[in-house]
Amino acid sequence: MKINRQERNRTFVIFLFFGVWVLGIVFTLVRHQVFNYSRYLERVKAQSKGIVTLHPRRGTIYDRNGEILAISIQSHSAFLSAKEPDRCIKLFERLQRMLPVSVQDADEIRRRIRRGDRFIWYRRKLDDEDYLRLVKLQKSQEEPALLHFIKEYRRVYPQKEVAAHLLGGVGIDEQGLFGIEYGLDRMVRGQGGKVRVQRDARRRVFAVEPIDETRPGRDVTLTVDVPLQYLVQQELEKGVRRFKARAGAAIVMDVHDGSILAMASYPNFSPDLAWKVPYKRVRNKALSFLYEPGSTFKIILAAAALENRVVTASQEFDCGNGHFVFRNRRIEDVHPFDRLSFRDIIVQSSNVGAARVGLALGSERYYHAIRAFGFGRPVTLDLPGNESGLLKPARNWSEVSPAFMAFGYEIMVTPLQMARAFNAIAADGWMVEPRLLKRVEGVSLSLDKGYRVISTDTARQIQTIMREVVERGTGRKSQVPGLAIAGKTGTAKKVKNGEYSKTYVSSFGGFFPLPSPRYTLFIVVDEPRPLYYGGDVAAPLFQSICERMRITERVFPLELAQG
């Protein structure tokens, strides 16, 4: 009897345990499939379905002749899936021997592999050769595969460093970073699409459902001419290196419509690696370099004085044998002159004579003329870093301001602002904004009508004076045999730590061929040495570019063109 009772008790306990276990299973099933049905359904959907964002193709950028400056092509990016960390580490070390990444990136990848991450970027936007090498390695690996690929667009710049500062560059995700790539980013980047991806239990994709369509970016055509851009960059680099300068910039504009045909900045960089280049190097000095223009600004003085009938071209001024003291401020000339006509004040670049004209002109009239020429406001271009310069309101000028601004001090400008002003003189007094965008999706953009800044008569008087600057004045080293050129030299001290230093900015601006100019060219060289005068540094560089443009642009003297 005792044994039977023990057996019954044991059987009861077993049945009780089994009953509790069954009830537990039933309760769990009810809880999952009834009470938590919605939550687990969403988890299943999340595991089997996913939303993937597709990056659009950026629009192609062309030069004025249809040459490709920037284009996006399809490429492959490699990533690792650390389903089996030990295997993945071995694969990664093998990849490092084939196609290494940086030490910092390698340490981060190893850390994520040990953590078991299922998606780890290895190399993005591979070129064809590297992609094929990695595909071969992938096929040699046992299942499950740990190395995978995704299709992405890669930005390519076929012209290499040509127009690099204009183009700028993009980041690793095709976002515009600098230059026109940034300025026109909304136009050329397009609109990303989305697809719903369905996967099986092994995470393999078996269905793709489009949600939003990808819209490629719009193609744009610039006013830039690739061959001209190349030669300007080449000559600028030679000039900067020859004079051991810190940097330089050069701009070529079409006189009639303001088209920027070339814009060079040195030192240069490769736009393919723009996201890796220090900001100082990618800055476009043609539109971001601020400096006091020196004697190139005397053409603005000439325009204001002649237009307001303060002077005549033949009127003489006392140049004090190279010295002039006004309100305890001393003004000097490099070469002393007793008396000079207004024409020769510009031709010989007399600071003393210019100061006397500036004082006669006065603050209000001079300020309004400077504003009319566009100083104190940025040039309207779709480029980042476009500086407005520094121009104080006339009410903040001191008594000596008109004298010093007459030869380009107490004002900060950019090379592009100066090119715009010189172009207005070349265009018979008609101011047009520089333009860089020519067509969008094959449709030509309307031209800026501009406005008149000075009369045709005043502009032609200044053209004649500037021609004499080249023929017998400070710009003689810009002469090109058989080509009539108008120009003006400039030399200005640089301010460092609040004081004028012994470093200089050398510049030269001009236009050609006369009497009907087609091109405006402005050049700035930062801190040349040992020579630093505009006539010794920037003028010869102007000459070398003009000589090459005679051939590439078919610039002939008027009499030959008519013949």
Q: Is the pLDDT of residue 29 over 50?
A: yes
Q: Which CATH class is domain 226-562?
A: alpha beta
Model confidence pLDDT, tens digit, residues 468-503: 999 999 999 999 998 999 999 999 999 888 889 999
Q: Which two tokens stand for residue 338?
A: 């007793």
**Cα 304 to Cα 310: distance, rounded to the nearest angstrom:** 8
The reply to whether 52-73+154-222 and 226-562 are identical in fold is: no
Least confident among 112-116, 148-152, 191-195, 524-528: 191-195
Q: Is the pLDDT of residue 37 over 90?
A: no
pLDDT for 54 equals: 63
Least confident among 37-51, 111-125, 271-285, 345-359: 37-51
When pLDDT is cut at 50, 70 and 90, the band that residue 212 belongs to is low
As a whole number, the mean pLDDT across the chain is 89
Percentage of the chain surpassing pLDDT 90? 68
CB count within 10 Å of CB 264 equals 30
When pLDDT is cut at 50, 70 and 90, the band that residue 73 belongs to is very high
pLDDT for 284 equals: 95
Amino acid, single-letter form, for residue 49: K
pLDDT for 141 equals: 82
Instruction: Provide the residue ranges of all domains of the chain, joining segments of one domain with +.
Output: 52-73+154-222, 226-562
pLDDT for 554 equals: 83
| Top-confidence residue, 447 or 468 | 468
Name the CATH topology of 52-73+154-222: Penicillin-binding protein 2a (Domain 2) (3.90.1310)
Q: Is the pLDDT of residue 559 over 50?
A: no
Mean pLDDT of 317-335: 93
Mean pLDDT of 157-175: 93
Buried b (16+ CB within 10 A) or exposed e, 380-412: ebbbbbbbbbebeebeebeebbbbbbbbbbbbb
Q: Is the pLDDT of residue 151 over 90?
A: no
Q: Is the pLDDT of residue 1 over 90?
A: no
Q: Which two tokens stand for residue 166?
A: 């204009």
Residues in the chain: 563
Residue 120 near residue 105, CB atoms below 8 Å = no
Percentage of the chain surpassing pLDDT 70? 86
Mean pLDDT of 193-201: 56
Least confident among 66-80, 135-149, 403-417: 135-149
